Copies of this chain bind each other. A is one copy, B any other.
Amino acid sequence: MWRRHPKYGQFELTDQAWTVKRSRHVVQDRWISLRADDCVTSRGVEIAPYYVIERPGTVHVLASDQANRIVLVRQYRHAYGGLSLELPGGLIDAGETDVLAVAARELREETGYGGGHFEFAAALSVDPARYTNRINLVLAIGVAPGHATPEPTEDIEVVLMPRADLHALACSGGIINVAHLGLILLAFARANEARALG
């Protein structure tokens, strides 16, 4: 899943890991799990408590339809206090291991789009200092419209956007979710790379 860069490696392993002396959950319910770890750094400095947010992994899909438009969702985001245009996606349920199946389900639930070819692209972290989970990027090509079934709490507008428009919007600050901005620009950069390699 991780391609190694020939020169700089992949930065996955370390002898700098902190030692956890004590760990407890401060808040744990259906919606959030906040863990407090009493840590000692590899240099012997105490950091207690250090707060970590445990969440299930998430999957987001950069899906293009048969006219090569990207399927996006626009919705209100309460912490931000405004609308955010993002990639469709959602949480990986407990026990689920098939990231592509989660991508297809979330895409269909939120937007109605389905079919097409799905491919795993990357597993990254939204905030490696605080979030334990991974954010996965899946690419989908050739999806077709269908019937959406969003959650009652969701109020989602589906937006179809040509690739060039999405790139321009992303570069102008119009994708305010920087994690989704990263996923979108990563997908575009890889597509450009693939084109350049022929």
- Residues of chain A at the chain B interface (Cβ within 8 Å): 1-5, 7-14, 16-18, 26-27, 31-32, 34, 37, 39, 41-43, 45, 47, 49-53, 74-85, 122-132, 135, 152-153, 155, 159, 161, 165, 167-183, 185-186, 189-190, 193
A173 neighbours in B (Cβ, 8 Å) = 1-3, 10, 122-124
Q: Are B84 and A178 in contact (CB under 8 A)?
A: no
By beta carbon, the residue of chain B nearest A172 is B3
Q: Are B82 and A12 in contact (CB under 8 A)?
A: yes
Complex CA gap A84/B128 in Å reads 8
Chain A interface mostly: mixed
A180 neighbours in B (Cβ, 8 Å) = 182
A77 neighbours in B (Cβ, 8 Å) = 125, 128-129
A169 neighbours in B (Cβ, 8 Å) = 5, 8
Q: Are A17 and B171 in contact (CB under 8 A)?
A: no
Min distance, Cβ A95 to any Cβ of chain B, angstroms: 22
Q: Are A79 and B127 in contact (CB under 8 A)?
A: yes
Known contacts A10-B174, A176-B124, A177-B128: A168-B78 contact under CB 8 Å: no
A78 neighbours in B (Cβ, 8 Å) = 18, 37, 39, 50, 52, 129
Complex CA gap A156/B127 in Å reads 17
